[in-house]
Amino acid sequence: MRMEGTFEVGAPRERVWRCITDPTLMVACIPGCEEIAPVDARRYRARVLVEVGPVKARFNLVVEVVEELPFERVASVTRGEEGTRASILSAENMVILAEIGPALTEVRYSSDVSVTGRLAKYGLGMMKKRVDRLGVEFAERFRERIAAGATSA
């Protein structure tokens, strides 16, 4: 299942870069994200609540940055499972920043998400919609945060 999208942020690319690499800010932007904590230089641990209709699943994820080109792009892989091990999630993610103007940055993101286990039985269409919407919600929140000047950097 693939999720992708593009949105623009009214901020210089370097600032956007600092935001997307700032775990505190990402907690606030990722829908359902309850916690992010760095494990080491390249890895984060995250807890995310995914709600699909009446079904709620809390995933414990590890995000590992596999490639980082400062200010331009970051590739990561996500692995994790529900607390009960009932579903397993893995994803390959890519975020690419493009400078459109001095204070305008385009964020392109894509993620190949694979879920197996109980949630996988739940209907492909719904999961896709849910994941697409997560992307849109993320973009909205991210823009809001940047507009509000919220960055620890």
Residues in the site for other proteins, rule: CB under 8 A? Answer: 1, 52-56, 84-86, 88, 90, 112, 114-126, 128-130
Q: Give the bridge partners for 76, in sequence order.
A: 65, 93
- DSSP for 74-102 reads EEEEEEEEETTSSEEEEEEEEEEEEEEET
Closest separation between CB of residue 8 and other proteins, Å?
23
Q: Give the relative orientation of helices 124-147 and 13-20 as an angle to the nearest 10 degrees.
A: 120
User: 91, 116 in Cβ contact below 8 A?
Assistant: no
Closest separation between CB of residue 18 and other proteins, Å?
31
85 or 148: whose CB is closer to other proteins? 85
103 or 126: whose CB is closer to other proteins? 126
29 or 115: whose CB is closer to other proteins? 115
Closest separation between CB of residue 85 and other proteins, Å?
4
Closest separation between CB of residue 88 and other proteins, Å?
4
39 or 86: whose CB is closer to other proteins? 86
User: 152, 25 in Cβ contact below 8 A?
Assistant: yes
